[in-house]
Structure 1
Amino acid sequence: MDHMTAGEIGRLTGSIVRQVTDFAPWLRNRGFRAGVPETLTALAALAELNLSSIDEVCNAFRSIYARTPAEWGIFPTLFEQYFGIREARLEEKRRLQPDDLMGGTGAGEKAERPPLEITQGVLAGYHPNDGERFALRADGQILKDVVKLTQLAVRTMDAPRGRKWQSRGREKIDLRQTIRSALRHSGEPFELKMRQRSPDKPRIVLVMDISGSMKPYAPFITSLAWSFTRVRARTQIFLFSTRLLRVTSLIARKGVTGIPYSDLPGLRGGTQIGGALAQLLRRYSSLLQRHTCVIIISDGFDAGHPEQMHTSMRDLAARVGRVVWINPLLGEPGYEPTSVGMSIALPYIDAFVDVHDVTTWKKAVHSGVLRAAP
């Protein structure tokens, strides 16, 4: 591909279109989420831009392709690398050699081009080994605190009666313990030892919304989901956007190191809460029992049909013991749960709480949101 220079950018219109078309695949290999919509927007912007101004073109493309602060910081460097512009001026923080991103160029160009200074050299969710952007990654700095709080929450939960017996209660005589105790008194059974069924592990179904509106809370939500795989509970974890995906083992194995988009097939943009819950009721009905606690983590913005949302929430509340809805927006000043999906779900929710960090999770646990009503 012929690279544009500052003098040629105004006259090589056909070459510009071809290069902009190939720019999105080139960015995807470096961790960006760029596709046909971004390409069409960039091509439309060319008609309004002053193509003789490199900075104007770079800033316009930056607003189109960069979605995160890290992408915003590194974009000028990538723009310079791809289009061959040498006028980039960036704040110094870490030195990045041009070949680190280009994969090698001609020897003469290497000697001529000065090293670039970039503000942020590591993309958010960018793995240096294979270039994959991670859809979910737990916040490692808070995992210890989150796990302790989750353990406390699970200990207070309602649990079904287990199959094993334990030495308490007045249900049945524990003959073995009675004889052992009698041996201390020359074989006279002065005290009858009783036993009863020990409680089973609590049953939890965690349903997480990973649509675009929940992206700011993804690190903490992933940490919370991972913590439920490290406590004494029968936990099943699901993700949903436009469809439902079971990810219990995936969260347990890769929640801390990061789960790339390639491991989450079929999850696209948009949110259909009612449809996802309908799939849960239809495909995983064996998990939904009277001792099950269903925890839904979502902001409640549903793009599906309101009737499906109503039917799904009604049937779910009728089958399980407790429905807890975690909405990270609930603590925002001025927020009211007035969206169609949220207003439909509220009558069927046993607890509606704001959890978006360790502090709010601690407050929710101590208030007993997962504990069944006596």
Structure 2
Amino acid sequence: MIAPVPPAARLFVAFPTLVREHGIAVAPEQTVSFLAAIELLGPRSLEHVRKAAVATLAPHPEQRELFDALFDAHFLGAIAEPGDEDFAPDDEMSVQDDSGSREVLLGEEINETGQAATGAEALSVRVLKPLDDNATLRRFGRALPAALPRRRGYRHRTARRSATVDLARSMRDAIRHDGEVMSLKKLRRVTRPRPVLLLIDVSGSMKQRSDANLALAHAVMQAAPRAEIFTFGTRLTRVTKALRRRRREQALVDAAGLVADWDGGTRIGDALQAFLAVPRFASYARGAVVVVLSDGLERGDPSALVAAITRLAQRAHRIDWLTPLAADPAYRPETEALRLIAPHLASLGNGATTARICRHILSLGGLAAA
């Protein structure tokens, strides 16, 4: 049973929710960090609370003015009173995207075709469809552990041939032979699979692939020794824990309940910035194989995506971007964002079908780092 939120904490818990409603990406873990920071500081003034909010919720510099306005409105009532239409989102709330145009949220009426990208956010509950890729995913799950790229671990194992001498075993063997060294024992470093970080676009322009990609993520989660799964559209959601369930149907139901921004807008840069702003999340990318399943139709500021991918590339073993648009052999990146991040990608591949994505991931073991 979940304990109720104490009355004294409700004001602080409500602030990250208000920030998310106005288009600033905030992960659930950042809300927890915000509350922990307030408890740690024991704030004596509202300015202490503001500094804790900026440090833990990490708004983008371009969104700082909006962030401060929301903070003042929430804690001081300086800008709008409760019920003011500017600070009380409803089904027809206008969202200012980074391109300067305003788009109107109409709930289910947004992007019904799934053929275009939008910056507006639409929150909904999704029921995932049954898939026909079960056989492909079973073969993929059996082959994945051996196919993942490997890196040297910290443990050693006995070896017949190696440049490293096991001095302790060699000396013990010499003692058994009255001090005569009969042979030098060798050691080799044990290798272990690299972790996998899967980032899945669930925006409206990817709605035809969202269900299948989440099922693929479940197969990765079950087969890979270490894996982390996140979805993004207008916000970032960690679904790793839900996808740890063995039964795929139950795992997908749980994951679908966690994701709130199905078939909505596309703000990839802001979502990745939120990912990197949480130290625990950013640590998942260190030395990992990062696979992004997205069409790359970014509606936000391209500079945010470029900055995020640059930082991500510095941590990761390689970044592979798989887009359904690459099913056409003549495909070339058309969006400014994809063209700018292309130098940081190990590959820009075909993500049109589950089979093609599985084939690409299984080939990573034989490819070099970016």
Give yes or no for TM over 0.5: yes
Instruction: Work out whether residues 210 and 218 of structure 1, in 8 Å CA contact, stay in contact via their aligned partners in 2.
Output: yes
1:332 paired to 2:310: no
**1:145 and 2:139 aligned:** yes
- In structure 2, what residue type is equivalent to 1:348? H
Partners of 1:166 and 1:153 lie apart in 2 by 21
The structure-2 alpha-carbon separation of the partners of 1:191 and 1:307, relative to structure 1 and needing over 3 Å to count, comes to same
1:272 corresponding residue in structure 2 = 267
Correspondence for 2:303: 307
Alignment check: 8 A CA contact 1:149 1:362 kept: no
Does the 8 Å contact 1:179/1:189 carry over to 2?
Answer: no
Q: Report 1:217-256 matches (<5 A).
A: 217-253=209-245, 256=248
Change in Cα spacing, 1:363 to 1:246, as seen in structure 2 (3 Å) is closer
1:154-169 aligned at under 5 Å gives the runs: 154=148, 157-159=149-151, 161-168=152-159, 169=162
Letter in 2 for 1:251: L
Aligned to 1:134, which of 114, 127, 138? 127
1:201-216 correspondence runs (5 A): 201-216=193-208
What amino acid is the match of 1:349?
A: L
Is 1:353 the counterpart of 2:363 in the alignment? Answer: no
- Per mean C-alpha deviation after superposition, the further-off stretch among 169-178 and 344-353 is 169-178
**Cα deviation digits, residues 160-209 of structure 1 (max 9, x gap):** x32322113322316448857998x9997533221133123312211111
After superposition, give the CA deviation of every residue in 1:64-111 in whole Å (9 maximum; x if it has no partner).
89x79xxxxxxxxxxxxxxxxxxxxxxxxxxxxxxxxxxxxxxxxxxx
> Structure 1 residue 275: deviation in Å?
0.7
> Which one of the candidate residues 280, 283, 295 is aligned to 1:286?
283
2:75 aligned residue: none
Alpha carbons 2:145, 2:225 under 8 Å: kept: no
Structure 2 counterparts to residues 352-371 of structure 1, below 5 A = 352-361=348-357, 363-365=359-361, 367-368=363-364, 371=367
Partner residue in 2 for 1:317: 313
Instruction: Verify the 8 A CA contact 2:198 2:228 in the aligned structure 1.
Output: yes
Q: Which runs of 5+ in 2 are unaligned?
A: 1-89, 93-108, 114-124
1:291-314 deviation line (CA, Å, top 9, x unaligned): 222111101011111121121122
1:295 aligns with 2:287: no
Partner of 1:171: 164
Mark the runs of 5 or more structure 1 residues left unpaired by the alignment.
1-34, 38-63, 69-131
- Counterparts of 1:370 and 1:276, CA distance in 2: 30
Report how far residue 343 of structure 1 moved: 1.9
Distance in 1 of aligned mates of 2:256 and 2:215? 20
For residue 223 of structure 1, give the secondary structure of its aligned residue in structure 2: helix
The offset of 1:228, in angstroms, is 1.8
Q: 1:371 to 1:280 in 2, by over 3 A?
A: farther
1:206 and 1:294 in contact (8 A); partners too: yes
Q: CA deviation at 1:234?
A: 1.8
- For residues 8-63 of structure 1, what are the alpha-carbon distances to aligned partners after superposition, in whole Å with 9 as ceiling and x for unaligned? xxxxxxxxxxxxxxxxxxxxxxxxxxx968xxxxxxxxxxxxxxxxxxxxxxxxxx
CA gap 1:282/1:370 in 2 versus in 1, 3 angstroms: farther
Counterparts of 2:260 and 2:354, CA distance in 1 = 31
1:174-193 matches, cutoff 5 A? 175-176=168-169, 190-193=182-185
The structure with the larger Rg is: 1
* 1: CA distance, partners of 2:170 / 2:351: 46
SS in 2 for 1:237: strand
Distance (whole Å) between structure 2 residues aligned to residue 238 and residue 341 of structure 1: 20
Counterpart check, 1:200 vs 2:197: no
Q: Which has the higher contact order (CA 8 A, sep 6+)?
A: 2
Tell me, yes or no, if the aligned pair for 1:146 and 1:224 is still in contact at 8 Å.
no
Compute the TM-score of the two structures, normalised by the length of structure 2.
0.56
Percent sequence identity is: 26
Structure 2 residue matching 1:276: 3-state secondary structure:
helix
SS in 1 for 2:208: helix
Structure 1 CA distance, aligned partners of 2:339 and 2:246? Answer: 34
> 1:328: how far off?
1.9
Q: Return closer, same or farther for 1:354/1:178 CA change in 2, 3 Å cut-off.
A: farther
